[in-house]
Each structure stands twice: as structure tokens, then as C-alpha cells.
Chains A and B, each alone.
Chain A
Amino acid sequence: MLSLETITNSIQQWLYSTFNPTMALILECVIVMLLVIGLFAVLGLVLVLMERKVAARMQIRLGPNRVGPKGILQTAADTLKLMMKEGLTPNGADKFLFNLAPFMVMIAAMLILAPIAFAKGFQIWDINIGVLYVSAVSSMSVIGILMAGWASNNKYSLLGAMRSGAQIVSYELSAGLSIISIVVLTGSLQISAIIHSQQSGWWLFRGHIPAMIAFVIFIIAVTAETNRAPFDLAEAESELTAGFHTEYSGMKFALFFLAEYINIFIVCAIGATLFLGGWMPLHIGNWEGFNHIMDKIPSSLWFLGKTFLLIFLIMWFRWTFPRLRVDQLLSLEWKYLLPISMFNLLLITLIAIMGWHF
């Protein structure tokens, strides 16, 4: 069976047999870079279209249906439009920071992609502190947002950026704690090790109720971290027009927009990896036949399927709930999510020590 692992291995072998090791490494880096940029472009287009279609269906509308069959080229047309547009820099803005900010956000999003395993053996960098790396780098995007808000010389942007700062700093905590609960169960920070530990079943089910609570808290926290509704206070459009990216236009705006969707993809991919077994097929106990059929489905499909399921969940939130107020957002974190996840972590540690999980 053709799997991504064999392809990558054969490419690597060919590279190392043709060029000297330094050259081969450089070439590998170039290939990875191109792949990541390509993935970004494709993911951006697909996710924006998906969001619009999901929103339309929930709002009893049709959604984009003019450009291309069933509107699938709509986002491509939008991108083209955004590229043609003039990128304005407002008077009085800090030009350097203003122009740097979208790239900061984008680079932060690109960096997190490194340790994610897209399929069996298809991973850019299987770093042994993968989970730690992810949570460390993901908090970098807030610097870009703060930069954008401050440099725009706009009060709405500033307010949005400040909200975003407070929000991400607090929600990192409970996101981190729910990630740690899986680390406790697995005993490893390495992404591949975490996936392999879920061979006999996903942590979501094996860890009893505490794992489910951790999953729910994780989903809530990452929704907040990616500034998605109902936690989209940083760009709350009815309050702050567009929050931190009010002054951005053209491609610079597109970068923010793209980074938002890439971030959603990444956090959902991590959620899928930690709680739903990444590319690991669904295995149920000792149903041999069932497990065998599940193994037939390519691992990349499993990964993408789980990730898109979580993305759909987050989109579902967005098109259902009203937005929270800034103080409620913080009290939700500090009064509910943080105490619960701390207590939950204790329970999970107990389960892990006693070996009560399946």
C-alpha cells in the first residue's frame, strides 16, 4: 500500500545518495519549506471556504455559490482580490512594527507546524519535547497581535490587542494543564510517543471522565487562544470594529486572516493528536475484524478527519454563541477552568499512578 512514510523515506534516501549530506539537508529544508507554504495556502483556502459553508448551512443560507462549481473557487478569488489591494499604512503608525506584525503572527503559526505528525512517519521534526515546544511557540503569536495593535496608532486596535494579551496569557494556563494531563498519562513529551501510546485506544476514552473533562477544557481554551468566537474579543466586530487588525488592508490583512485559520488547524491537530490518537485508527479493545478494517484506512485520512471534526466543532461554537465580555472571559478562566483543570490533573495523576486507565 502506498503510504506517505514510504514516499518520504524514498525521497530521503535518494537525496542522501545523490548529494553530500549537507547539500541533502539543505535540499530537504527547501522541500519542507515549500511544502509548508503550500500547505498554508491550501489550508487557508479550504478552511475559509469551509467556515463560510458551515456558517451558511447553520444560517439557512446557501453560502458562496457563484465562483466555480458550488463556489469552491470563491476563496481563491478573494485571495486574488486581497493581493491586488493596496496595503495601507496609516499616518502616525510605527511603520516598522506595523509591517512586521503580520509576519510575526504568520511565522509563529508556521513554527508550530514542525512537530505535528500528519500521518504515520510523516512529520517534519519529531522533537523529544514536542508538546512543550508547541505550547511555548504558540504563545508567541500574541506578540505579533500586541505589535499590530500598538503600532496601528488606533484606539480600537490598542484595546483589541490589550484584550488579546490578557486573554492568551490566562488561557495558556488551562490549555497547558490539559495538555499536561495527557503527558502524565503518556509519560512522554514526544508527539510520536504520545500517538503510539494510543494504539489500543484513544486517551479521550481510556482516561475515563477526567480525560474527557481535560478535552473539553482544552477545546474551550484553544478556542480562546485562537481568538475565535465566543472569545473573539480581540476583534469583536460589534465593539471594536475589527480589533487589532482594524488598520490592515490587502495582503497584510490576509496574513492575519490566514494565520487565524492556520492556528485553528494547528490547535485542532494538537487536540486530535493528544486526545484522539493523531493518525492512529480507531481501535476498540479486541474486536479484531473491526480493528483490521480500520487499519485499511490511510493514516493521513484518520488524522485529517479527526482534525476537521474538531475544526467543525469550533466553527459550530462560533455560529451559535454570543460573545463573552472581557471580565467574564477572565472570570471563566480563573474561577472555573483553572481550578477544574488543576483538580482534574490531580485525578489524572492518580489514574496514571494507579494504572486505572485501560
Chain B
Amino acid sequence: MYRETQIIETDNIAAAGADAAGAALVINVGPQHPATHGVLHLVITLEGETIKKIEPHLGYIHRSIEKMCESLSYRQFIYVTSRMDYLSAHINNHACALCIEKGLQLEIPGRAQVIRVLMDELTRIASHELWWGAMAMDLGAFTPFFYAFRERESINDIMEETCGARLTMNYMVPGGVMYDLHPNFQKRVKSFIQLFNSKIDEYDDLVTGNIIFQNRTKGVGVLSREDAISFGCTGPVGRASGVTCDIRKLYPYEVYDKVDFDEIIETAGDSYARYQVRLKELRQSVRIIEQLIDNIPEGDFQAKTKAVLKLPKGEFYSRVETARGEMGVYIVSEGGTTPYRIKFRSPGFSNLSALDHMSRGSKIGDLMAIMGTLDLVIPDIDR
């Protein structure tokens, strides 16, 4: 891949008749940069304003969560995973809980399943809201950020009331959820949906329809279907390239097979398609919530579990759909109270690997549109 770049370089240099040092301009974007939303470090080789190569340097926020989890018990390690993709903290926890339950062959009460799905979808909305604002900010429009946060704040309030925290909720325990829903939960979710439905059209007015925005994103960072599969791109990035990769549809968990929602597929594969997929997913998430909010079954919110959990010897893998794509948890158990080896397949890691491929030949301004619509969360990539 990099050898290939060098060939391009020599070709261009030969054509331009310039010397090697003068032709390429190498700039460092990050680790502290307004557009990388975290400590991502990109070494970009430019020719004028055209990107010739992007080399991501990772590890600025690597905490070795996988190693850390090897010394934590099955109850304890769930909370650490909130710190990976902090915007879909609840969904990460869900993946871990599912994997443990697979190992223990636990049956989850119906009420807990519905609560989990409701929380997942609320988290997804909150995550997409933040993405929408931050993406618009990358493209130079500041105001959408505040509108997005207005709606996101009401989700955070709901989370705070029921789960006890706003961002890293830690509401998930093996076998169910930590507490029952707060009595106000249904009322507040309904009022949130009302607010959301009244405001979402504003998003279209302000950003989607805007001619500058469309010009900035259409045809930018095109990822073909084959490349998306080959790079392992999932979530909105994969679906914008026409890959059916919604785990909620393909391998339904909890009650996703009982609710009615659409998997959003776009075929263009450019930044605008990725934008459209996320914006439409917001509406689908609201649809799921609307179906479930009045149909929460009565019963336990937690299955009975032993105080000390021990997974049988073997390997367990669970997959869930986070706001960014497919999240996998791979546990190798040796029968003890702690996992022998744990691997988190994070969606951002694979999506980032396609960045270089997508942005070659684009302008440096396009890079922000591409990174914005990839929706990278750096702790998710570094783990």
C-alpha cells in the first residue's frame, strides 16, 4: 500500500520535473487538532492541497482495556467498556453482557430485554445527535452543534434519572439491568420523542438541504461496496456503501426481531450517503422506541445470577450494532472467574483503516467531510 504511494510520487515528480523534497508537503493533523475530535494523529502527505497519503498514528489514548479486562471479573469488566466508545457506552456494555450471558446460558427476563433495547436506541440517538453537530462543525457551521445538544441533553437527563449517570451509564449487569426503570421514564421518553419530531425538520433546513453542505459532501470520499466489505466497514459507513450489515437485522438479539424498523441502505458510498444513513437512522430509532415504550412487559428486570460468575471453558463471541457499526466481544474462557483473553472488535478501528483509501486525491477540506462522516471516536479505535 505504501510502496504503491511511492510509485505515484516518483511518477508525479518525473512529470513535474521537480525534486523530491519540494513536491510533497507533509503535515501533521493532530494529535491536537480541532477536527480530529480526540487524540488521533494523521500524517498527511500533500501535493498542493491534494492529499496523496494519510497515515494514521494511533495509541495516544491506548489504555490496553483488553489486558485490563483479563484481571477483572465478569461483573467488573463491563464497566470498563463504557470507556471505549463513550458515545455508545450502553451498547458496548450490552455487547459484553450478551457475551457473558451466552457463556452462562442465561435466560433474560422480557422486561430487561425491552429496557435494554430502549436504552440502546436512546444511546444511538444521542450518539448520532452529537455526530451531527460535530460533523457540521467540521464543515464550518457552528450553530447546528448547539441545536443537536439541545435534544441530546434531554436524552442525557432521561439517562441520568434512570441509570444514574449521563454518559457512562453502567446500567448493564449480566442477566439484566441494574435497576428497574424510573417511574417517570415513559413520560419523559414520550415528551422527548415529541420534542425530537418537532425539531428534526430543522436539521434538514439548516444542514441537509444547504447547497454548500451538499457540495461539500456529495461525491466526496467514495467507498465502493467491495472496498467497504474488504475494509470491514460496518454501521452507517458500510450501509452507505450498500452493504447490508445491520446486526440488529442480520443476527437479532434481545427483541429486535419483534420490532418493526428498516435497515437504511444507500448506494452512493460518499459522505452525503453516510450523512443520509445516520439521519434516517435517527428516525428509525425513534420508530423502535415508539413501538416499545408502551409495551414494556411486567416482570423482573434482572435474572437471578450467582454472586461470583464463572464462564465455562470455551470461546464466546457476541455481536451488537453500536452507533458506529458492528461491535464484537470475543471471550476466551478457561473456566475461571476472569476472562483468559478478551478481544473487542471495535467498529471505528476498521472504519479508520479505510480513511487513507477514501481520501486519496481529495482536497484537505474534503478530509474533514470524510472524517466527520466516518464518525470516529478515538478511544474506541485505541481501546
The chain A residues found within 8 Å of chain B, CB to CB, are 55, 58-61, 155-156, 159, 163, 229-230, 232-233, 236-241, 319-328
Contacts and interface: CB of A to CB of B under 8 A. Distances in A.
Interface of B: 25, 27, 33-35, 49, 136-143, 145-147, 150, 206-207, 210, 212-213, 215-216, 363-368
4 closest pairs, A vs B, by CB?
Answer: A323-B140, A322-B139, A59-B146, A325-B365
Contacts of A61: 146
Given A236-B140, A236-B365, A325 B216 contact: yes
Contacts of A240: 364
A241 B36 CA distance: 11
A322 B146 contact: no
A16 B35 CA distance: 60
A26 to B, nearest CB: 48
A321 B211 CA distance: 9
Given A239-B364, A323-B216, 16 more contacts: A60-B146, A61-B146, A159-B27, A232-B140, A237-B34, A241-B33, A319-B142, A319-B143, A320-B206, A321-B141, A322-B207, A322-B213, A323-B212, A324-B216, A325-B363, A328-B216
Nearest to A321: B212
Contacts of B150: 60
Given A321-B140, A322-B210, A60 B364 contact: no
Contacts of B143: 55, 58-59, 319-320
Given A230-B140, A232-B140, A239-B365, A321 B210 contact: yes
A277 B122 CA distance: 55
24 contacts: A55-B143, A58-B143, A59-B143, A60-B147, A156-B27, A159-B364, A229-B140, A236-B365, A237-B34, A238-B138, A238-B139, A238-B368, A239-B35, A239-B364, A241-B34, A322-B136, A322-B141, A323-B141, A323-B212, A325-B363, A325-B366, A326-B363, A326-B365, A328-B216
B207 A239 contact: no
Contacts of A233: 365
A47 to B, nearest CB: 18
Contacts of A58: 143
From B137, B143, B210, B368, name the one whose CB has the most chain A CB atoms within 10 angstroms. B143
Contacts of B27: 155-156, 159
A233 B140 CA distance: 9
B180 to A, nearest CB: 34
Nearest to B369: A325
B140, B141, B213, B364 — most chain A CB neighbours (10 Å): B140
Contacts of A155: 25, 27
Contacts of B366: 325
A230 B137 CA distance: 12
Contacts of A236: 140, 365
Main DSSP-derived SS at the B contact region: helix
Contacts of B137: 238
B363 A230 contact: no
Nearest to A328: B215
B146 A238 contact: no
A58 B367 CA distance: 28
A278 to B, nearest CB: 32
B141 A239 contact: no
B25 to A, nearest CB: 6
A280 B210 CA distance: 36
Contacts of B367: 239
B28 to A, nearest CB: 9
Nearest to B137: A238
Contact of B49 (A60, A230, A326): A326
A156 B33 CA distance: 11
A324 B216 CA distance: 7
Nearest to B362: A325
B141 A320 contact: yes
B212 A322 contact: yes
Nearest to B49: A326
Contacts of A232: 140
Given A155-B25, A236-B140, A238-B140, A322 B365 contact: no
Nearest to B214: A322
A277 to B, nearest CB: 31
A237 B35 CA distance: 8
B34 A238 contact: yes
Contacts of B206: 320
Nearest to A158: B25
A287 B118 CA distance: 66
B271 to A, nearest CB: 12
Of the listed residues A232, A233, A321, the one surrounded by the most CB atoms of chain B closer than 10 A to its CB is: A321
Contacts of A319: 142-143
A201 B137 CA distance: 42
A331 to B, nearest CB: 9
A327 B363 contact: yes
Nearest to B141: A322
A239 B212 contact: no
Contacts of B215: 324-325, 328
Most buried by B among A58, A236, A322: A322
Contacts of A59: 142-143, 145-147
A2 B136 CA distance: 50
B201 to A, nearest CB: 16
B139 A323 contact: yes
Contacts of B216: 322-325, 328
A59 B213 CA distance: 19
A55 B143 CA distance: 8
Nearest to B363: A325
A159 B49 contact: yes
A22 B50 CA distance: 58
Contacts of B141: 320-323
Contacts of A325: 215-216, 363, 365-366
Contacts of B25: 155
Contacts of A328: 212, 215-216
A61 B153 CA distance: 14
Contacts of B207: 322
Nearest to B371: A238
B368 A239 contact: yes
Contacts of A60: 146-147, 150
Contacts of B33: 241
B60 to A, nearest CB: 17
A327 B35 CA distance: 20
Given A156-B27, A319-B142, A319-B143, A230 B364 contact: no
Contacts of A156: 27
B355 to A, nearest CB: 15
